Amino acid sequence: MAVENIKVHEESNVAPPPSSTQSLSLPFTLYDTLFLRFPSIDWIFFYSLNAQQSEPSFFYANVIPKLKASLSHTLLHYPPLAGNILWPSDSTIPIISYTPGDAVSVVVAESNAEFNHFIDYSVPHEATESRFLVPHLESSDSRASALALQITLFPNKGFSIGISIHHAAVDGRSSTMFIKAWASLCQQIIMNYETTSQSVVVPSLVPELEPSFDRTLIKDPGNWNRFLLAKWCPNIANGNSDGDDNGKRTVKILPSPPRLKEAFSATSVIKPTIEEAVRATFVLTREDLEKIKKRVFSKWDQVKDPEPEPESESESKSTVNSSSKPPTLSSFVLACAYSVVCIAKAVHGVEKEKQKFGFWFPVDYRARLEPPIPDTYFGNCVWSHLVDAEPLDFIKEEGLVLVAKSINRKVKTLHKEEVFGKSSSRFMALAKEGAEMLGVSMSNKFMVYETDFGWGKPAKVDIINLDRASNLTMGLLDSKDGDGGVEVGLVMHQKVMDLFGTIFHGGLKDE
């Protein structure tokens, strides 16, 4: 899609209701610092509209005002997202700061591109096409916006909401909580508008969408926050903030995926330039997941998995029984195992020398901390962990069983101990071996397809920032059909994507 397919209708700023909020400053925890300069979390939610609703004059006069009004009320509950990421000269750690007057940039645009092209599941499209539907998130050395939005009308078809959120401000759970809160308040405004001509009633949030900003809930006895800050700004380790361009404190988002100096950085066809990449979504229905589970269970006891390397003493104690056949496997385990094995085989099929792989997935620590913290905690509270499958397991004949067992074991044996250093060192060791590191972003548990602003559920949801991940990463979401299935989003080289599609669909056929 060319740039000329987008026409900006208006640019504005949306703030919380006047005089409704006070200044707020949230210090970074170790989980926030991890993502300080990472690429933003970028979503696109596509919504179909009827002919009247998607007619431009009606859309701009009726739909946009409700989206803006509900956004303002949502920011009343989520003021940090109207603010900025800062690293004050008198602070050793960055902060998320909101000051009355701060606001979110909202671009309203119109596109003559084919709406159905974006919501089509059957054919991959160029990854760059979707980028024009996502706003630019401002960032500099001194400050970075927490949130930017773009609402794009496709006349007579529907509209999209492009969302770009600074990753140091939120993780997947927090970002989806905000989006659902916005949708909930928009529904209330629409309902009030349709049922009464009196003054607008201030909409309210249900408790599960009210964020908690209590940073004292996050403990850091290992001083990991300082360690991570030193990675971003080496001079912090020396107790000062001065230095050259490579050592000064900055909150500017990196222009390319972040890599620690020790990271593996070989060029590969599976990490194409964005111009060579294609984007596609594949669906695993509930029936598909059941089929995969039966296949894994049929050989569970026959396939001997490798002895895992424990990340902590308590994990070592609990590993003894972790390989016994469980009563069931979660949709997350099944979708990850099947998809990552298909990816590995597709990569190996295109590049025969690529035989070693590693797989990591993010773990939400809210329920794993001691004491546990609320699901509504706003910010980052995730850390990634590697599964203990052998690098060659992914392309073996019984790779699906081996990888499924490894993922399930890791999920069941993770404990609350601080194992961050161990996980990071194992990641680096595998990368140095030349293993292609594969990962997953988001979760089907977030139920994003329930996000209804008042005009129906999404026709499609895309995780756009997959094209900026430092490793080949798949996006996992719940199924649009609401049948308990899982959607797998990917950005890969066209040759790899084509072979992946063949392997993916072929493996689901009845044997």
Instruction: Quote the CA–CA distance of 423 and 365 in Å, as a whole number.
Output: 15
Which CATH fold topology does 3-238 show?
Chloramphenicol Acetyltransferase (3.30.559)
Residue (of 17, 118, 23) closest to 76 by Cα position:
17
339, 405 contact by CB (below 8 A): no
Mean pLDDT of 435-464: 96
> Which residue from 489, 209, 114 is spatially nearest to 335, judged by alpha carbons?
489
**In the structure encoding, which two tokens stand for residue 224, read together?**
């990991």
132-178, pLDDT tens digit by residue? 999 999 999 999 999 999 999 999 999 999 999 999 999 999 999 99
Q: What is the pLDDT of residues 196-238, one digit of tens each?
A: 555 556 789 999 999 999 999 999 988 889 989 988 887 655 5
Q: What is the pTM of this model?
A: 0.91
Least confident of 122-126, 132-136, 428-432, 433-437: 428-432
SS3 25: strand
DSSP state of 184: H
How many whole angstroms separate alpha carbon 114 and alpha carbon 109? Answer: 15
Cα(276)–Cα(271) distance, integer angstroms: 9
Helices (H) and strands (E) counted in the chain, each on its own, are 13, 17
Q: What is the pLDDT of residue 269?
A: 41
Closest CA to 64 of 154, 151, 6: 151
State the Cα–Cα distance between residues 10 and 211, nearest whole angstrom: 30
* In the chain, where the domains are located: 3-238, 279-311+323-506
- Reported as a single tens digit per residue, the pLDDT across 460-482 is 999 999 999 888 999 999 999 99
Q: State the sign of the Cα–Cα–Cα–Cα dihedral 429, 170, 480, 478.
A: positive
Fold of 279-311+323-506: Chloramphenicol Acetyltransferase (3.30.559)
In this structure, of 75-84, 234-243, 246-255, 367-376, the range with the lowest mean pLDDT score is: 234-243
Fold match, 3-238 / 279-311+323-506: yes
- Classify the C-alpha dihedral 35-36-40-41 as positive or negative: positive
pLDDT of residue 233: 83
Would you call 508 exposed, middle or buried from its count of C-beta atoms within 10 A (0-12, 13-18, 19+)? middle
